[in-house]
A and B are shown apart, each in its own frame.
Chain A
Amino acid sequence: MSRLGGLLLKELLQHGWVLALLGLFVGVTQGLLVLGSAIAPRTITMLEVHESFVRLFLPLLGLALGRRLVVREYYAHTQRFLAALPVYRWEVFVQKLGLGAALLGLAAFASLAVAALVASFKEPLDAQWLIIVLWRTEVFVLALWAFFFTMGLLGRWRVPVYLAIAMVLLYVNRATEVSLSRVPPLSLVNETFVLERARFPAGDLAWSLLFVVVTVGLGAFLALARDGGLADSLAQTMSRVEKVAVGVVLSLALIGTSVADPLADEPPFAFEARRVERRAEVGLAVLYLEDTQAASAAALADHLALDLTALRDELALHELPPVHVALRPDLDPHDYEEVALEEGDPGVLVRARYHDEAFDRSRFSQRVLELAIVKATDGRAAHEPLAWVRSAVAGRIARPGTERLAAVYAAARRPRYEDLARLWRTEERFGEGVAAALAAVAADVAVEEASEARWRAFARSCLSPEPWPGVLEAVALRRDPVEARLARELGVDHAALEAAWAARLRALRPRAPRLPAAYARIEEEEGALRTVAWGVTGATPEGAGCALVHAPLGPFDGVVDPSDEVRDERPCAAVAGEPARLIGRYGARDRVLLAIEIELDDGPVRLLAERRELP
């Protein structure tokens, strides 16, 4: 057996039981992650299991392996024994580096294989996408291991260096505009890690590999310089003076970063301009830009204050999230721009062209109330299956009487509770207005079947600001699903309630507006680019606008971010004869969402929504 083989066998014998335990740990965590993702309402793709493993458990594995393979050897001084054997020092270095990389790489590969296997039962997979994820995973593994391996060679200084690096990263992340998730190798496992299926991240991979080369170079210097004496001397126990020095330096650094933290005393977001209409009792502020807009701002503030007060009473909230509305004159009056405030800020900020005559305060209020509910529930209400309850509560307060929109749905398909529970899909197919109207009808039916008080109790049970126990949220929802709460709080059987809701919707069918039919055709061109020809047929309401809404589909046929959706608006009359064309935006084999909307007085309604793979 070769010398390297002998060293390898020694490592496996020495660390075999630990590796077996780590393997068991990996298996159990992977199983729990699969289970959690399978039942979590927010799961976009089952590959998120792999993402969680790589982000959370792989670094722990790297740390443990670094400690076993490197730190332990130097602290026990057994590397001196190896140095006296007929084996080159670089052979020991390469063997440990290679073994750690292989073990971590194997664990990561197994994680991806398991996640892909589970995903293959419920989601479409493609080879290119898996290859991209695999590349990102394995290069990240190399970078991770190079880091922990080299840190292990720092001996007694590695813990202070870990702490220093953590402090620097936290400070940079908090105090500067630098987004660490954009910096290789961390960028390989950022939010696009398992979602990117088309773009090969060549740049990030190249920079990450450079990081690997530099880090391994530093490790080689530590391990081989001065005949291995450098790493040997670094592995000596820390003296009392060194301990005191490290403690003092780290304490000073901690105090320094706290004092210099620009966000430590950052107050919640607030308008500082003079032209602001405030309604302090509900924490509302409406910003306007010119004195001529003051009346519009005041009218909107009065409208929202009433609705927010009603929401506070409906959900028995002690305090509403502060709501900030800013005027943005360049927006379409039907569009609102939701702005993400700093993490931890208790408020919401929305921009709108509220001084326009076409601006619909009720629609806007519904959106604002929904955002306030989402904020009050720490984001829980943003997701299925609570989304329809949120929408119903906000809709009944802000925008009663939207049955005509609900009738659009009733005319198109047989009502099913699943369309409420999976509100995103209903929004995607029929538009947000229709989905909200469906939820509002469901709430009205619940009130009629039970009582206003019982509906309120149900809404408060679902949208309570009491935080659920973080990671157990998915389990909590599984154990006490919305359907069970509905039956319990209302005292009405769920099936009976669904039947009453379906009957109400069927009764609304005659009120459905006459809508034109819509189409979207793909015209093949020479080369890879494709044209989307779209339009409507049949009579269209006078002066109505139509729009093609399109977006690339992420993994598993979903739009990753609603802001990816692009609207191409035309007068309906203009697309009733000749089709409009979207030229060269997408290419062959792209999967895209194509939806055609018509703007009614009640709001936009989707005539068609399809996920298409372009030929």
Chain B
Amino acid sequence: MADAAAPVLAVRGLAKRYGRQVAALTGLDLTVGAGEVYGFLGRNGAGKSTTIRILMGITKADAGEVRLFGEQARGTPVHLRQRIGYVAQEHNFYDWMTAGRLAKFVSRFYPTWDDATFLHLASSQQVPLDRKVGTFSGGMKAKLALSLALGHRPALLILDEPTAGLDPVARREFLERVREDAERTGRTTFFSTHLIDEVELVADRVGIVDGGRTRYEGSVDALAARVRLHKGAPAEASPPPCPAGVRLISDRTFRGERRWVFEATEPEAFAGLEALLGARLERLPLEEIFIEMVRSR
């Protein structure tokens, strides 16, 4: 049963193993609200693609719950998939089809397909509709994929590392198009990446996945405020005891000085620690935070 007030996407305790050796997901949680642009950040092999494949019904989860549009979505039935636009990491299109023919083919699977929307998107990105897809560059294929994904005016757009393999200009153009679409239509957008700048450029909220679990979920600003660095302590110094609400997530020696990275549940919690250390804690760029968080595991 759909719940109107429910988040567009909610995942609880998602687990997936490949064979006995590989645990791709070990209890992932995430929530994406309506109209949000959600950056799903993680290293290669962190479980991002597996999560998206489960959301799209391509792969089945071993355990956990997925709710889409407030509806239980085990295996993601076709009627739910018809409300999702999906851009895969690899573009396995039929090379023998022209872009126009491909759009015709795809349109048959979506009751809400809108030719005008597709044509507008394709033409605004200079996608040649009469050329065979096999002759397209990687960047052109990505643009075509985005046009196809949005052609049926989906309520949720899912992008799985969509800029992988694109040159910097094409990458930037693609991300701007996604952001612009989200702002213009208010469409909920969920995209995975391992590139921090993409998250900073596009996302309202971020989820960091590592080792198959969610390490952080929240706004980008909140994440920046929750992690601080202390450096300059002698190499032989020991880390200070952490006050309540603060934990040490990284302790390394770099160029002869100790570097301690702390994570707090609330930024105010750092005040006690600063008093203890007798020094101000530094803010970190998002990339540093991400690296410290996933390296601390």
Q: Which residues of A contact B86 (CB under 8 A)?
A: 84
Q: Which residues of A contact B96 (CB under 8 A)?
A: 14
Q: Tell me whether A84 and B60 are in contact in the complex, defined as CB-CB below 8 angstroms, given that A3-B108, A14-B94, A76-B95 are known contacts.
A: no
B81 interface residue, CB < 8 Å from A? Answer: yes
Q: Which residues of B contact A77 (CB under 8 A)?
A: 90, 92
B-facing residues in A65-114 (Cβ within 8 Å): 76-78, 80-81, 83-88
Chain B's nearest CB lies how many Å from the CB of A87? 6
Is there contact, CB below 8 Å, between A86 and B93?
no
Which B-chain residue is minimally distant from A89 (CB atoms)? B58
Q: Which residues of B contact A227 (CB under 8 A)?
A: 53, 58-60
Q: Which residues of B contact A80 (CB under 8 A)?
A: 88, 90, 92
Is there contact, CB below 8 Å, between A10 and B78?
no
Is there contact, CB below 8 Å, between B90 and A86?
no
A358 interface residue, CB < 8 Å from B? Answer: no
In the assembled complex, the Cα of A95 lies from the Cα of B91 at a distance in Å of 23
In the assembled complex, the Cα of A130 lies from the Cα of B109 at a distance in Å of 42
A-facing residues in B102-119 (Cβ within 8 Å): 105-106, 108-110
Q: Which of A6, A76, A86, A228 contacts B105 (CB 8 A)?
A: A6
Is there contact, CB below 8 Å, between A81 and B94?
yes
A5 interface residue, CB < 8 Å from B? Answer: yes
Chain A's nearest CB lies how many Å from the CB of B98? 11
In the assembled complex, the Cα of A140 lies from the Cα of B94 at a distance in Å of 33
B246 interface residue, CB < 8 Å from A? Answer: no
In the assembled complex, the Cα of A389 lies from the Cα of B93 at a distance in Å of 68
B82 interface residue, CB < 8 Å from A? Answer: yes
What's the dominant secondary structure at chain A's contact region? helix
B56 interface residue, CB < 8 Å from A? Answer: yes
Q: Tell me whether A78 and B108 are in contact in the complex, defined as CB-CB below 8 angstroms, given that A84-B88, A86-B81, A227-B60 are known contacts.
A: no
Q: Which residues of A contact B108 (CB under 8 A)?
A: 1, 3, 5-6, 9
A-B residue pair count with CB separations less than 8 angstroms: 54
Chain A's nearest CB lies how many Å from the CB of B163? 18
Q: Which residues of B contact A13 (CB under 8 A)?
A: 97, 101
Which A-chain residue is minimally distant from B79 (CB atoms)? A86
Is there contact, CB below 8 Å, between B93 and A81?
yes
Q: Tell me whether A76 and B81 are in contact in the complex, defined as CB-CB below 8 angstroms, given that A83-B58, A84-B56, A87-B109 are known contacts.
A: no
In the assembled complex, the Cα of A9 lies from the Cα of B79 at a distance in Å of 22
In the assembled complex, the Cα of A6 lies from the Cα of B56 at a distance in Å of 20
In the assembled complex, the Cα of A1 lies from the Cα of B105 at a distance in Å of 11
Is there contact, CB below 8 Å, between B92 and A76?
yes
Chain B's nearest CB lies how many Å from the CB of A227? 5
Is there contact, CB below 8 Å, between A78 and B92?
yes
Chain B's nearest CB lies how many Å from the CB of A452? 72
In the assembled complex, the Cα of A157 lies from the Cα of B97 at a distance in Å of 29
In the assembled complex, the Cα of A83 lies from the Cα of B93 at a distance in Å of 12
Is there contact, CB below 8 Å, between B109 and A81?
no
B-facing residues in A353-378 (Cβ within 8 Å): none
- Listed residue (A13, A81, A83) with the most chain B CB atoms within 10 angstroms of its CB: A81
In the assembled complex, the Cα of A87 lies from the Cα of B56 at a distance in Å of 11
Q: Which residues of A contact B106 (CB under 8 A)?
A: 85
Chain B's nearest CB lies how many Å from the CB of A88? 7
Which A-chain residue is minimally distant from B108 (CB atoms)? A6
Is there contact, CB below 8 Å, between A86 and B78?
yes
Q: Which of B59, B60, B79, B105 contacts A10 (CB 8 A)?
A: B105
A-facing residues in B26-58 (Cβ within 8 Å): 53, 56, 58
Is there contact, CB below 8 Å, between B88 and A85?
no
Chain A's nearest CB lies how many Å from the CB of B289? 32
Which B-chain residue is minimally distant from A80 (CB atoms)? B92
Is there contact, CB below 8 Å, between A6 and B90?
no
Q: Which of A14, A81, A88, A228 contacts B78 (CB 8 A)?
A: A88
In the assembled complex, the Cα of A86 lies from the Cα of B80 at a distance in Å of 8
Q: Which of B93, B94, B109 contacts A3 (CB 8 A)?
A: B109
Q: Which residues of A contact B90 (CB under 8 A)?
A: 77, 80
In the assembled complex, the Cα of A78 lies from the Cα of B109 at a distance in Å of 16
B-facing residues in A25-76 (Cβ within 8 Å): 76
Is there contact, CB below 8 Å, between B58 and A84?
yes
Q: Which residues of B contact A14 (CB under 8 A)?
A: 94, 96
Return the CB mask of A1-17 against B: 1 if under 8 Å, else 0: 10101100110011000
Which B-chain residue is minimally distant from A88 (CB atoms)? B78
In the assembled complex, the Cα of A166 lies from the Cα of B56 at a distance in Å of 42
Chain B's nearest CB lies how many Å from the CB of A611? 59
In the assembled complex, the Cα of A163 lies from the Cα of B94 at a distance in Å of 31
Which A-chain residue is minimally distant from B95 (CB atoms)? A76
Is there contact, CB below 8 Å, between B94 and A78?
yes
In the assembled complex, the Cα of A6 lies from the Cα of B102 at a distance in Å of 11
Q: Tell me whether A86 and B58 are in contact in the complex, defined as CB-CB below 8 angstroms, given that A77-B90, A80-B92 are known contacts.
A: no
Q: Which residues of B contact A3 (CB under 8 A)?
A: 78, 108-109
In the assembled complex, the Cα of A88 lies from the Cα of B82 at a distance in Å of 12
Q: Which residues of A contact B79 (CB under 8 A)?
A: 86
Is there contact, CB below 8 Å, between A86 and B60?
no
In the assembled complex, the Cα of A76 lies from the Cα of B86 at a distance in Å of 20
B-facing residues in A156-193 (Cβ within 8 Å): none
Which B-chain residue is minimally distant from A83 (CB atoms)? B58
Q: Which residues of B contact A1 (CB under 8 A)?
A: 108
In the assembled complex, the Cα of A81 lies from the Cα of B88 at a distance in Å of 9
Is there contact, CB below 8 Å, between B58 and A87?
no
In the assembled complex, the Cα of A10 lies from the Cα of B56 at a distance in Å of 22
Is there contact, CB below 8 Å, between B109 and A85?
yes
Q: Which of A76, A83, A86 contacts B109 (CB 8 A)?
A: A86
Q: Which residues of B contact A87 (CB under 8 A)?
A: 78, 109
Q: Which residues of B contact A86 (CB under 8 A)?
A: 78-79, 81-82, 109-110
Chain A's nearest CB lies how many Å from the CB of B118? 15
Chain A's nearest CB lies how many Å from the CB of B132? 13
User: 6 A-B contacts, Cβ less than 8 Å apart?
Assistant: A14-B94, A78-B94, A81-B88, A84-B56, A85-B81, A86-B78
Which 9 A-B pairs give the minimum distances between C-beta atoms? A6-B108, A86-B81, A81-B92, A86-B78, A77-B92, A86-B82, A227-B59, A80-B92, A85-B109
Beyond A10-B94, A87-B109, 15 additional pairs, beta carbon < 8 A = A1-B108, A3-B78, A10-B105, A14-B94, A78-B92, A78-B94, A80-B90, A81-B92, A81-B94, A84-B86, A86-B79, A86-B81, A227-B53, A227-B59, A227-B60
Q: Which residues of A are interface residues toward B (Cβ below 8 A)?
A: 1, 3, 5-6, 9-10, 13-14, 76-78, 80-81, 83-88, 227-228
